[in-house]
Each structure stands twice: as C-alpha cells, then as structure tokens.
Structure 1
Amino acid sequence: MTTAETRAEPLSIGEVAERTGLSVHALRLYEREGLLIGPVQRSTGGRRRYTEADVQWLLICVKLRESGMPLADLKRFAELVRQGPGNEAERLQLLDAHQQRVEAQIRALEGCRSIIAWKVDVYSEHLSRGEAGGLWDPNS
C-alpha cells in the first residue's frame, strides 16, 4: 500500500489524536465547539472518520491554541474558513492580531531570558571561585 493510498483512507479518532497530539476528548470538544471546517464523517456504525484535510486543519488549530489564540478567535477563524472565499481580509485581521500578541510574548520572554542568563552567569562565576559572597542570602 502506498502513502497516497493510506492518506485516502479515513482515520479513526484515535489515529487523529495520535497524529495531532490532541486527546480523544479534545477532538470531540473541537467538533462540538465548531472548530472543524466541515462535519466529521461517520462510519455506518457511527464512528468518527477523519480525512487528511481534517488532520492538517487540526494541526493548524493546535499551533494557534498553543500560541495562545483565544478559543473565540479560533472559532471565528474556523467559521470564516467554512464560509469560503470572500472574507480573507477578516481572516487576515484575526491572524495579524494574533501574530502581534505572539510577538509581544516573545519580546517579554526574551527579556526574561536575558535576566535568567545574567543570574546564571553570576552564580557560575561565584561557584567557580568557590565563594558565595555577593549572592543573595536571606540570612544576611
């Protein structure tokens, strides 16, 4: 069986959970909350059957959520994508606002990293000299 044939086969909820890092519970929640682009297909037995396109969309959703996109914004983005062409400017506006928030978080983390690196250097220097003088001591 080729990779292309495998991709054309529907995926179970467990397989999608494994590929996306989302739990089965989270996948059901995403579906209930309207975060998927289309309805999840069902087998004759009622089991969810996902497509490769569903997986690719979910991977984008995971990254948007991991980067702090509010659920309401993600819902709106999914809604706009489901509506199809004609609302790209609004999609861009959502993504641009999120990008700006992420870039602000990165700048704040870089500031934190520089303070931590400075403290690591201070402690390393004092430990290499075998002295604790100059380090904060709550008892002094």
Structure 2
Amino acid sequence: MATLEASVSPPVRPSTHVGTSTDGHAGDGESTWTIAQAAQATGVSVHTLRYYERAGLMREPVARAASSHRRYTASDIAWVSFLTRLRLTGMPIREMARYARLARAGAGTETDRLALLTEHRRRVLDRLHEEQRNLAAIDHKIAHYERILR
C-alpha cells in the first residue's frame, strides 16, 4: 500500500493549513484539502467521504480546522483512493471496515491485513477470468458476423 500512497497526486491544489486541529492531525504548514477538494481529488462524492468517516473506514480521524470543517491530508487522500479501489473491485464495506480497523491497530496486524487482501485478490482474479471468458464468447460471435457480412 505504501506504493499506492506515494503515487497519489491529487489533481486539485491543496491549501496550507496554519495551526493544528483539535486532534493534532494536521500540523502547521501541512498541505490539506477541503472536503470538496478531497472529493474532486479522489473521485468520490462529499457524501461518500462523510460516509467513509461515519462507517469507520478512515485509517485515522480526519483533521478539523478551527472552523470545524474537515481538512484532508495527502495521507487521507491516498487512503480514500485505496478504499475506492477496494470498493470498485467488489470488496464489501464490512471487509473494508475490518481492513481499516487492522490498519488503525498498526504493527502486529500485517498478517491479518495480508490475508484479507490476498483473499480479496483471489476473488477479483476469479471475476476477471470469468469476464475474459465472457469477452472471448462475444469476440467469437463478432467474428462470426464479420465473416457472414464480408
């Protein structure tokens, strides 16, 4: 996952957060994004970002500005991007929540996180192979009609 986090480059420009949030999550001068900017950067809706937070899917609490508005860090953006990939590949929310709990627990949970991701990968590959078989059947039928129409 570190590779994914390093590769995330949000398409929107962050603002510079001056001061600290109530939980100390975003420090002086750290680039942060508003919820609207985070939604644009991750490709999910503002509603989804709030849902991920309520459902316990965030790895760490989202910082708050003095105004109480959410302030997303680059790490938060990378995490949401990874959650989005898990969701788009069919991981159920309950498994995503389990993965987030394990990630929050930190060191000592790597074996469980690896097992969860390995099992998910197996399911994704199974679906991918099924899609490849379906595509082959479609290609066969297209070739049939192209022969007829020549």
Tell me, yes or no, whether TM beats 0.5. Answer: yes
Matched with 2:8 is none
Match of 2:148 among 126, 129, 137: 126
Task: Give the structure with the larger helix fraction.
Answer: 1
Partner of 1:15: 37
Q: What SS class does the counterpart of residue 91 from structure 1 fall into?
A: helix
Q: Offset at 1:127?
A: 1.5
CA distance in 1, matches of 2:97, 2:147: 50
Out of 82, 85, 101, the position equivalent to 2:107 is 85
Partners of 2:93 and 2:61 in 1: CA distance: 19
**8 Å contact 1:41–1:50 — kept in the other structure?**
yes
Letter in 2 for 1:100: R
Q: Give percent identity, aligned residues only.
A: 38
Pick from 101, 116, 119 the counterpart of residue 138 of structure 2.
116
Q: What displacement does 1:32 show?
A: 0.2
- Gaps in structure 1 of 5+ consecutive residues: 129-140
What is the TM-score with the length of structure 1 in the denominator?
Answer: 0.85
Distance, in Å, in 2 between the alignment partners of 1:45 and 1:16 is 17
Deviations 1:19-38, CA, capped at 9 Å, x for gaps: 11110000000000000011
Distance 1:52 1:116 in 2: 42
Unaligned runs of 5+ in 2: 1-12, 17-28
Match of 1:132 in 2: none
* Aligned-CA RMSD value: 1.8
How far is the alpha carbon of 1:8 from its aligned partner? 3.0
- For these two proteins, the number of residue pairs brought into alignment is 126
Answer with 1 or 2: which has the greater Rg: 1
1:72 alignment counterpart: 94
